[in-house]
Amino acid sequence: MSQYSSENISELISTQILDTLDKSVNRIQLNDKKKCKTLAEPLSKYILSSAVPELTPSTLQNIIENHELVFILFYTDWSIEKKFVNLAIFEAAADIIRLEVFKPGQLFLGRVECEREKSLQEMFNICHYPQFKLVRNGEIAKRNFRGKVTVEELVKYVQDELKDPIKIFLDIYDMGSLDHEKRLFIGFFETKDDPEYNIFRRVATNFKHYCQFRAGFGCDPTKFYSKNKPLVVLRSDVTLSHEEDLIFNGSLIDYNEVNSWIFKNYVPLVRKTSITFENEGDYIVENLPMLVLVHKENEDNHVKRFIDFCEFSFMHLRDKMLFLTSSDLKYAQRLSRFKYNIVLPVIYYQNTDFSSCLFGDINSLEIPEKLEDFVKEVVNEKTVLEEAINLTKNNIDGIIASNEVVFILFYGSTSRECMLMDVPPFNEAAMVMKTEYPSPGNITLGKVDILLEKELQYRFKAMYFPKYVLLHNGKIEKINLKLHPTRIGRVSSLIEFIKQKLEFFKELDTFDS
């Protein structure tokens, strides 16, 4: 336990930050010091622990192999103020978390200074600071900490991740309340000390956000299944699927085998949870193309028809494409902005780079070969969709030379905010502009991932993202682009800005001639 009490913690943190700032910076403004103290004051009710261990490539691998959960703070020394405030918050949170009783090897908290450990920064795709990453059972978690960097939020996040996702049942006929939007895995064991149950518990933590887990001890599963305990089964949903309960026939003491089986089956081919305008980001992070049935509410007959078709035709594409449904009005309204003539239900395709197209209505399923051929083409990347062009150092000069106007978005592919709020509206604007200005050589919208194209990043001085660059006849123009705060409004902002610039350039060319 730390020697410091809650009464003097604020004074201690503020003093540490200010002393370090005074030693590291010759001239520092008084208001900067006050800001540091203000940021440190909310920590007054917590206890400061000793420093959280700093991780290196040589130590990280051993820690990951010997801990179920590893929670890491990535930071940099670029901003001294942010560095010490973030470390103080993380250490205060770590001290509170350590007060709980953990099993050996259950949790480890560490930090990485990205300037010193470039290889770890690249391994975890860190592009802004501070950033937190969770490693569970040796794999980087898909869902990481996204809240405000406060002691309360960090403690709550770690506590939630440590919760046992398995609920115990005494009677197989009474498993408590179930979420019918998530798949259910049921385990039958003798006791909690069984090695098979420990493997089941560890694997369950990997999928706690996507599935639900139940376990019974002493129950006889032979009344319902052909095998006795220890046993794990996947219970199907007969209301929207023709699947039967699936029994795991592998070794329950082999972590990799159990994990692979649940990963393969943890979601049905067609997700039960409807994709919406708000939760779309949870699917985008999986980085797979999406085939979506967009329908009205309470159209279960169309949903079941879509599910039946996909399970019959596309089961082999489970790892290559997402099959989804949506009854969200906002999500459907996006299609109308692409000049699509919408009469629900329709089938809609979106690629990983946010390019998209409308396949057809639900009746197109009456000709199975049509959708099967379409999916086969897009999976093999033969279909070219209208979108903002991906610019590279190899093609950018040719595109600039052959177009009067080139509008470029510089973005970072590892930034969730960029991938949700900047790239999709830019692609949608590109689709509209190609429809309204189809003549070649007029205008082209392109995008640059600065994490892949460092040379272009430095050439156009895109040291932050998102950054927009407009070129007219090969020359960079000064722009004052004000974007709407919402994603829907941002599309309109971009289109209006581009049209105004095109009109201005047209008048300018007329004046010059």
pLDDT in tens, 332-342: 876 765 555 67
Q: What is the pLDDT of residue 123?
A: 86
Q: Which residues lie closer than 8 Å to 150 by C-beta, 6 or more apart? A: 42, 89
Name residues whose C-beta falls within 8 Å of residue 462's C-beta, 6 or more positions apart in sequence. 410, 448, 450, 456, 469
Task: Record the tokens describing residue 368, joined without a space.
Answer: 């199975």
Q: 177: number of CA atoms within 13 Å, CB side? A: 1
Let me know: does 285 contact 416? Beta carbons within 8 Å: yes
Could you give the CA distance from residue 324 to residue 314 in angstroms, rounded to a whole number?
13
Determine the pLDDT at residue 329.
81
Residue 430 makes CB contacts below 8 A (sequence gap 6+) with 386, 387, 388, 389, 445
Cis peptide leading into residue 345 (ω within 30°): yes
User: What distance lies between CA 24 and its chain's CA centroid?
Assistant: 37
Which residues have a Cβ under 8 Å from the Cβ of 392 and sit 6 or more positions away?
A: 448, 452, 453, 456
Cα 216 from Cα 166, distance rounded (Å): 10
What is the pLDDT at residue 275?
Answer: 86
- For the chain, the C-alpha Rg in angstroms (whole number) is 27
3-state SS assignment for residue 30: helix
Rounded alpha-carbon distances, angstroms, from residue 453 to 48, 287, 462: 42, 19, 11
CB-facing half-sphere around the CA of 157: CA atoms within 13 A: 23
Q: Tell me if residue 377 falls in helix, strand or coil.
A: helix
pLDDT for res 392:
92
> Which residues of the chain are under the pLDDT cut of 70?
1-51, 79-84, 101, 237-243, 272, 285, 334, 336-341, 353-355, 378-386, 414, 416, 487-488, 511-513
Residue 306: closest CA among 353, 368, 389: 368
Domains identified in the chain and CATH numbers: 47-162 (3.40.30.10), 166-266 (3.40.30.10), 274-380 (3.40.30.10), 389-512 (3.40.30.10)
Print burial letters for 130-157: b (CB count within 10 Å at least 16), e (below 16).
Answer: bbbbbbbbeeebeebbeeebebeebbeb
Rounded Cα distance, 365 and 307, in Å? 11
Report pLDDT for 338. 54
Tell whether pTM > 0.85. Answer: no
pLDDT at position 307: 87
Q: What was the pLDDT predicted at 1?
A: 37
HEC profile of 405-423: EEEEEEECCCCHHHHHHCH
pLDDT digits over 82-105, tens only? 666 788 888 888 888 888 767 888
Q: Which structure tokens are listed for 377?
A: 């083409």
Task: Count Cβ atoms below 10 Å from residue 251 Cβ, excluding itself.
Answer: 12
Longest dimension (CA), the chain: 90
User: Residues 74, 114: contact at Cβ < 8 Å?
Assistant: yes
Q: Are 389 and 446 in contact (CB under 8 A)?
A: yes
Helices H / strands E in the chain, number of each: 17, 18
Angle at 118 between CA 413 and CA 25, to 5 degrees: 105
Hey, what are 18's tokens? 């200010």
Positive or negative: CA dihedral 382, 384, 385, 389: positive
Residue found under tokens 């020697």 = 3
